[in-house]
Structure 1
Amino acid sequence: MINTLLYLSLSSAANAETEPLCNSPYQNGFGISCSSSVMIADCQQMKCLPTGRYITVCSLCRTGLVPINGVCVNQTTARDYGDISVCQKNDETNPTHCISCSKNGSSNNYFLFYGGCYLATQWPGNSYCLSASNGVCTNCNTNAKMVFTNPNTNAQEKCILCSDNIGFGGSKGIQGCADCMNRNSAGSTDIQCLRCKAYDTAPIDDACIPFGRHTCADGHCTRCYKTHIFHLGGCFTRGGSRAEAICASNNQFEIGDYSACKACVNTSEAPDQGNCKKHSEQNKCTKSSTGSCSDCLHSNPGSTFLFYGGCYDATDVPGKLICSTSSGGSCTSVVNNSGVYLNGKTCYFCNDTANSGISNCLTCSYESSVVVCSRCGSGTARSLDGRECLSDCAFPLRKYCSNDVCICECEVGHYLSGNTCLACHKSCAFCTGPSADQCEACTQGWLWRYDENDHLTCVGVDGCGDGFYPDVAESACMPCDINKCKTCVKQSNVLCTECSTGYISLNETVCVDSCAGEYMEPSATGARRCICQEGYTKNADSSRCVPVHPCPSDTSGCSRCDSAGYCMKCANTDHVIQLGRKSCTSECPLNSSPLYEYICVCNEGFVLTNSTCTIVPTTTSGVPVTTMIIAIAVIVVIVGVLVGVLCWYFLRNKRKRSLRPRTVSKMSESMGLVGSVDDF
């Protein structure tokens, strides 16, 4: 719409209109720019008239000249262009145009046209008028299509230019129109434009504007988009009065993106490729009395076929959108998904209920003398058997839509058997039959897995079986993908929790037949798995056992050490841990022997001093120092015990003395109480 308005604004500026310069009824101020240098020099600005699409003539000259046969002349130059004497000038001194072409009562076949005198028997006058009398055109040349006859018989100007958007006596042309014709039917103008001057415009709703989605070229159209009806090179909005005067709305239809007509309002016309055209201009249609065709040209193989009152060509649009082959004036095969089916030699729309079609059906087929719909429109859904387009689907059916195409399908938990929906197995959301192994998708809470026959089955969370684990997020039993693994779990990775019989889990990702790694052995309880011996732990990938505390660099021959870095086991089982526990060799050093055959200790009478066994030192009396030390220690302990016992004894006696008087007093009180009881 914006482009159209912009175009009209620019066109209006180019064809600027001015007020009439005189009181002559044969001048209305209409004019366009001149096309030649001579015209530009002698004609007043924007006062030329079109003669066809490319040539112009002058209607208002510069002072001193008058238009004779479209050329501005004076008394001297007129002899080369015509008889200037027939022109009654608007001003004898400073003329610019003629106000009559019958001076002295004789016009000699001249006629007045937009302020100029033209000879009706030669060009350019004969482009406008076929005959003249008394200086006036009596018969406009409508065959040339540059002018149309003014329907207002009281107006002075009988012939009006197609592009004159000012007009005479209330009748006017269409701005930018090159070819036109009188229109007898009702409308917004008195003419119908057949071709526009500008190549990138076309007659759209009685205006020369850009043609958009219509098929147009060289100023006119050959086909219209489905929103408009075609007629004589123009397109008219469906539902408007102009379109209704061409083809009644009940006879309008669409073929793909094109509009078409079944019967033309003007019975002298008939549909050709869906467009109303004069029957006299066609050679394929046998016309009926109702503005349509009853038959089409018979040829074999041929390309013409009859379709809803019109003759169509199977090799050109829109005909080829319907029919792929034809013969003898009939279609022999239709285009797939064209919305048309073939019954015998006649094509019908799928939604043509008057001819066994289905309401709202867009595409269909004809099977066993029955129309079967494959796609429904208008939000309706295809029934199971394709014989209806339904607004809703009753249980056990449901309405399913995708990309604006809807179908009735079996509700979740049902499958189609013939034209009936039956219940699936309880584990199946979608299925092809009643069995559990005929599932296509599982009911919520069930997991899918493929059995040994590659059939999809639905199982509970405990039914995945060996080699699979339940993945609730995926609603599936997923394979462990660990060779010889019986059960597994999914954490960050899949871990094997139990291997198949005869296999042991090495590191929860590999199952082996034995624990072959050094310091590795099978577990004694629980699921069989390889564990490390005491003092060893598994490495990063759990493939082998390594010491819990690796031996530091100052050790030699040790395979295991404690946290302080002392040797606890020799790498060579025939070696023993040496004194100081920093190395392993085959023999113990002097004055030492192997304890339990694995660690060297000093012999009796020797002590370890700086990783060496030395003899125990003695006193002057010959008693070994160690013996003397032990004796002294025993004496000290005995004395300490005696002192402790004495201290306890004295403290206990002292406590008894401090408590004695209080005890006697209480005893006296008790005796007194007894006496009082006796007295009673």
Structure 2
Amino acid sequence: MGLYNSSGTCTPCTDSCAVCKDGKSTGCQQCSPGKVLEPSVVANGNAKCVDECAVGDDCAECGITIDGSRYCTRCKDSNMYPLNGVCIPNTQKDAYCTNKANGACTTCSGAAFLMNGGCYTTEHYPGSTICDKQAGGKCEKTKKEYGISDDGKLLECDPTCLGCTAPGPGRCTRCPSDKLLKRASGAATGSCIDPNACVDGYYADGDACLPCATPGCKTCGHASFCTECAGELFVSLDGQSCLGECTGDKVVGEVPGGVRRCWCERGFLPALDRSECVLPTECPPDMPSCAACDTSGRCLLCAASNHNIQTDQRTCAEGCGARASSNQGVCHKNS
């Protein structure tokens, strides 16, 4: 039994009413388990709670359970259809159900969304607990642990998901704020994982954990930029491939801090695009954060080892900002 505010006093709703507008029997906005709202809720915003679906009276199939209450998915009378899980006559058909067959709705109007043979509204319970946004007769964004399939079937997501396209792991579309959605390249669904589990060929990108694009890459800071290769492979000079050996003029293999990478011989530095090794020169006086430059006055090496060359190619700072990613100490604008 719920409570409502009566002139500043918390007052119990009527029996079987979990949420209510007032103390009247017709003032319910959500029912207790085993009860459902009468269809008049779509017109009034509140209604009376009645017994949940039972096969025999108006309903032929009670095929869906939401928060402990059963709802109708197909009516016995072909001239009726389920609205918010309760059978109603065709007099309200045009407003919510645009096509029906055998006592069930097959398409809904823009005022509702299709779910398990019925039309549900996001403004009223139980549709309000399932769907956050409806459009074109379908639910565009589900709430809580639910998902809705393309053909309008309610799905209980894996417990780790906030939204899904099908039951079970690996079908999540949304995760809690403290998780990342780990998915394959180009995939719309995946699994919800802890951020510290986004390793071994994957990288964190916003609220997603995505695979590194480089074959053989163990860790990467961006899809195209590898920071460590698996096994005995070397990270290439440009950070975009994993190599069995380092080749190229003045290019050698080294293992700083245990990471195998291709780098330049002593006295040389990688060009800004990391395509070759070049002789560095002194930087202009107005570039104090840079330790070495190329002949065009672009920064090749930061004075601080933990800084990155910024996208202006003249300054160094920690990180790269929200719109760029680091590759071998150089910030590149995200595409």
Q: Above 0.5 in TM-score?
A: no
Q: Comparing both structures, which one devotes a greater share of its residues to helix?
A: 1
TM-score by length of 2: 0.44
TM-score by length of 1: 0.24
Q: Which has the higher contact order (CA 8 A, sep 6+)?
A: 2
Larger radius of gyration: 1
Q: Comparing both structures, which one devotes a greater share of its residues to strand?
A: 2
